[in-house]
Structure 1
Amino acid sequence: MSSRTARLQPSRPWPAMPNRTTIAAWCFLAPSLIVLAVFVFWPIVYSFDLSLHKWKFSADAQEWAGFANYARMWRDARFWNALGNTVYYTAFTVPLGVALPLALALALNRAIPFRALLRSAFFLPVIASFAIVALAWRFMLDPDIGLLAYWLSFLGMPHVSPLRDPNLAMPAVIIASLWKNLGFNMVIYLAGLQAIPIVLYEAARIDGANSFQQFWNVTWPQLRTTNIFVLVISIIGAFQVFDPAFVMTPGGGPLFSTETLVTYIYRQGITNLNLSYAASIGIFLFAVVFLLTLAQLRITRSWED
């Protein structure tokens, strides 16, 4: 090839240098990325590595265990009981945690008396610590000094002890959790409702649509993004439930009826010092939540398509 032909061929382009906007964006993202790397990604990686070892109170005394901890988890009846309780808790709190706040947001989105006061009252439990709320519910449901026992005695009814009954302990935890988180989802739905253009409702009324038809054909489709957000965070929060079950029913409740995956991780890792086994349960929980969230996002995306 002649030198003239070589000069006529285009040279390989050099990679473009990042502009000032890109550099500025990375500078703004750097603090958040560092925090995520240190406090989220690295603990996940280290937990997976810890689950493959047998921890012996020293970094130099970790024996390789492979997947023995996961095999132990498969044979552990307490683990399956905790998983079943977590699914039970999720199956009730997620649908009710979507329907009740949506109904409340629809009611408080109207021009009614004391609307601002009612919104503040329903959002007030969100500000309080979940441990404090669970402790208050624990005393309120106490069969001896609780408010429930007082009202039952006032009405001449026998005392009921929900937190000491294996069949009622988890429903009591679910009710307390719904009461605590009701205001948070309500505010999210209020924001979604106020973002819907008024002209859509005006056009629906002109076409003769009643209240239910306006909700089903206007409100519900316009809340698609809000529903996805509320559903995702509700499922993640339900699988990570700890405070109400741990505080309201210490020790996992009667016959471990309220022991969830996170409380079982705490018991194995902190109480029994089985950190490797606790890490394997944590990795399992992470995988379940990740797969559920991924599947949920794919399903909702297919609905949009």
Structure 2
Amino acid sequence: MSVQATSVTPAQAPEAGSRNGSLARHRNALSGYAFLAPFLLFYGVFLLYPFALGLWMSLHDWEIVGDFREYIGFLNYVELWDDPYFWEALKRTLQFAAMTAPAATLLGLVLALALQKPLRIYAALRAVFFASNIFSVTVVTLVWAMVLNPDRGLIANGLRAVGLAPIAFLADKDWAMPALMVTSLWWTAGLPMALFLAGLQQIPPEVYEAARLDKASRWAVLRHITLPALARTTLLVVVLQTVMHLQVFGQPLLMTRGGPANSTRPLVQLIYETSFRDWRSGYASAISTVLFVLMFGVALLQFRLSRQEGE
């Protein structure tokens, strides 16, 4: 019995290797898509689909109750242009974000610089300052409504102790917005502090040691070493805080109801009232689209400026 040997020509060997490599790449690609499938499904169902539906609703006269749906094109956006309530809410939202986001960034940086030492007392203080960040907006507004109460509040009792008349912060048109800003700063300063602490830990200690040997002052170290090293962290904090404060809603809704005289009524509250009080979901979707474009534009501008500075 003889066994016939099978020979492979030199031209066939590379072809077989190429097929095997192609099959391996396809298997790897399929494995990668299978790994990403749960996230892509979640992203599509809970983010992309609602976003697309919101854009589609903004082109309709769409009532939240009932089956009335009428395509009207861009008439909702034309109406926005002539709506004084929209422009007033947009002005209040921009004012709130423009004052609160930089203040939260600066406060987070100051807290991080003050509490970065590795002692237990500083670790406890870091936990205390970050703890407010995990509270719900209901708890935060309840606490600050009691603090700002003109009859029995902490600030009112302090003013009476020094012979001054208490101030009704949440009922005064000039004080209501600053009161909401202070409340938001107290609530949100923990996250910027944590991000800055993470950024400070990435700075090599040898750099500070060299500065001490050169007898550099604290201001010089902060200006020429710490702040430049925290540039990217600062950008991240500013973007996150700006986008977050452009979406302010719970604080004015629960503390002032948008008053007095609509002086604290932001865009998100206008969206809520237009959709769930006036049943005009199409018009509310148009306002939401404008708010999204505003947030996207702010983030894109800040990242672009950072890239230009880096170049």
TM-score with structure 1 setting the length:
0.90
Q: Report the residue type matching 2:292 in the other structure.
A: F
Deviation at 1:112, TM superposition (A): 5.5
Q: Structure 2 CA distance, aligned partners of 1:58 and 1:161?
A: 39
Q: Structure 2 CA distance, aligned partners of 1:294 and 1:213?
A: 32
Unaligned runs of 5+ in 1: 1-12
| Matched residue SS, 2:238 | helix
Counterpart for residue 202 of structure 1 = 209
Q: Report the residue type matching 2:225 in the other structure.
A: V
Q: Structure 1 CA distance, aligned partners of 2:126 and 2:187?
A: 14
Are 1:162 and 2:155 counterparts?
Answer: no
Residue number among 270, 276, 280 corresponding to 1:270 in the alignment: 276
| Matched residue SS, 1:256 | coil
Q: Report the residue type matching 1:267 in the other structure.
A: E
Counterparts of residues 100-111 of structure 1 (less than 5 Å): 100-111=107-118
Counterpart for residue 298 of structure 1 = 304
Distance 1:237 1:16, change over 3 A: farther
Deviation at 1:19, TM superposition (A): 5.5
Counterparts of residues 34-53 of structure 1 (less than 5 Å): 34-53=41-60
Deviation at 1:16, TM superposition (A): 5.0
The 10-residue stretch of structure 1 (196-205 or 183-192) with the greater mean CA deviation from structure 2 = 196-205
Counterpart for residue 3 of structure 1 = none
Q: Structure 1 CA distance, aligned partners of 2:26 and 2:37?
A: 17
Are 1:62 and 2:69 counterparts?
Answer: yes
Are 1:224 and 2:231 counterparts?
Answer: yes
Are 1:174 and 2:174 counterparts?
Answer: no
* Preserved CA contact (<8 Å) 2:98 2:242: no
Residue number among 149, 156, 181 corresponding to 1:149 in the alignment: 156
Counterpart for residue 285 of structure 1 = 291
Deviation at 1:57, TM superposition (A): 4.6
Deviation at 1:273, TM superposition (A): 1.1
Counterpart for residue 239 of structure 1 = 246
The 10-residue stretch of structure 1 (27-36 or 237-246) with the greater mean CA deviation from structure 2 = 27-36
Deviations 1:14-56 (A, max 9, x none): 9955365544443333222221211111111111110100114
RMSD over aligned CA atoms reads: 2.1
Residue number among 243, 265, 271 corresponding to 1:259 in the alignment: 265
* Preserved CA contact (<8 Å) 2:170 2:256: yes
Counterpart for residue 95 of structure 1 = 102
Q: Report the residue type matching 2:243 in the other structure.
A: I
The 10-residue stretch of structure 1 (67-76 or 134-143) with the greater mean CA deviation from structure 2 = 134-143
Q: Report the residue type matching 2:227 in the other structure.
A: W
Aligned-pair identity (%): 37
* Preserved CA contact (<8 Å) 2:60 2:282: yes
Counterpart for residue 129 of structure 2 = 122
Deviation at 1:95, TM superposition (A): 0.9
* Preserved CA contact (<8 Å) 2:63 2:282: no
Q: Structure 2 CA distance, aligned partners of 1:16 and 1:113?
A: 57
Distance 1:23 1:217, change over 3 A: farther
* Preserved CA contact (<8 Å) 2:64 2:275: no
Counterpart for residue 8 of structure 2 = none
Q: Structure 1 CA distance, aligned partners of 2:197 and 2:120?
A: 17
| Matched residue SS, 2:50 | helix
Q: Report the residue type matching 1:263 in the other structure.
A: Q
Q: Report the residue type matching 1:277 in the other structure.
A: Y
Count of aligned pairs: 293
Q: Structure 2 CA distance, aligned partners of 1:273 and 1:244?
A: 23
Are 1:211 and 2:218 counterparts?
Answer: yes
Distance 1:16 1:231, change over 3 A: farther
Deviations 1:187-234 (A, max 9, x none): 111111011111111222233322111112211121122112111111
Are 1:249 and 2:256 counterparts?
Answer: yes
Deviations 1:69-112 (A, max 9, x none): 11111111111110010111011111111111101100101356
Deviation at 1:162, TM superposition (A): 0.8
Are 1:136 and 2:160 counterparts?
Answer: no
Who wins on radius of gyration, i.e. which is larger? Answer: 2
| Matched residue SS, 1:255 | coil
Unaligned runs of 5+ in 2: 1-17
Q: Structure 1 CA distance, aligned partners of 2:50 and 2:289?
A: 11
